Amino acid sequence: MTPPDTFTELARRLAREGAGAACDAQAEVLMQRASAVGPARARVLRRAALGLAMAARRLAALGGGGRIAPFRPIGLRGAVAAGAVALASGRLRQAELIGLAAAEAAPDSPAGLRLAGQALFAQGRYLASVKALAGAVAQDPLDAFSRALHAEALLFAGEREAGWRALGSLRARGEEAAPLACALERALRSGALRGAGAGPGSAPGSGRAR
């Protein structure tokens, strides 16, 4: 797992490159789009704009300059880094909001949904985490980290068979993915991850979060 100070340094560097201003500008774009759609969609867009504005404030606090960078890739990377800093500091709802905002602003990138899935998992909202991480995996099926997170979320959500299948699939994907799968499987079998399924043959209900 990446150390929290690494996320902070990354966010600080991206802030200096104009990521905060890029997030603010993209938030304005989302607000303009919200004014031209129906109420339900407008709520989603306004919430995403709020998430990007939160990311912009976090980046500004790290010393962002006055320059405006393109949202792709600098602003998006800055938003995700700011969300990772929020996640590492225990600001779970803020990290969730920033992740969902990044996913709305860049729906072809898995980074936002992966961040949102991690934040939802940390809140104990395992079914919502499964949904977000499934979206991240769909965007980039080759990303071993997203696949490992998705498998873990499935197990904690009580979906033991699907979770162990996901781990098996991860192991089969090659050298990069196999160590992640094996480490997660060892932790599950040893009981280090309480609340998750102990194995494919575990008793009914033993994999549900408590």
Question: Could you tell me the pLDDT band of residue 108, with boundaries at 50, 70 and 90?
Answer: very high
Burial status of residue 84 (CB atoms within 10 A of its CB: 0-12, 13-18, 19 or more): buried
For residues 149 and 186, membership in a common domain is answered with: yes
- Is residue 114 situated within a structural domain? no
pLDDT in tens, 29-56: 999 999 999 999 999 999 999 999 999 9
Of the two residues 188 and 57, the one the predictor is more confident about is: 57
123 vs 167: CA distance, rounded Å? 22
Q: Is residue 119 part of a domain?
A: no
More confident site: 167 or 101: 101
Looking at the structure, tell me whether residues 100 and 69 fall in a common domain. yes
Each residue of 69-93: pLDDT tens digit? 899 999 999 999 999 999 999 999 9
Judge if 161 and 87 occupy the same domain.
no
- The reported pTM is 0.84
Does some domain include residue 116?
no
pLDDT of residue 59: 94
Whether residue 102 sits in one domain with residue 47: yes
- Are 4 and 56 members of one domain? yes
Same domain, 1 and 88: yes
Shared domain for 29 and 101, answered yes or no, is: yes
Which residues span the domain enclosing 167? 126-210
Q: Are residues 52 and 142 in the same domain?
A: no
Tell me the pLDDT of the chain averaged across its residues: 86
Is 120 contained in some domain? Answer: no
* The total number of structural domains that make up the chain: 2
User: In this structure, are 94 and 163 located in the same domain?
Assistant: no
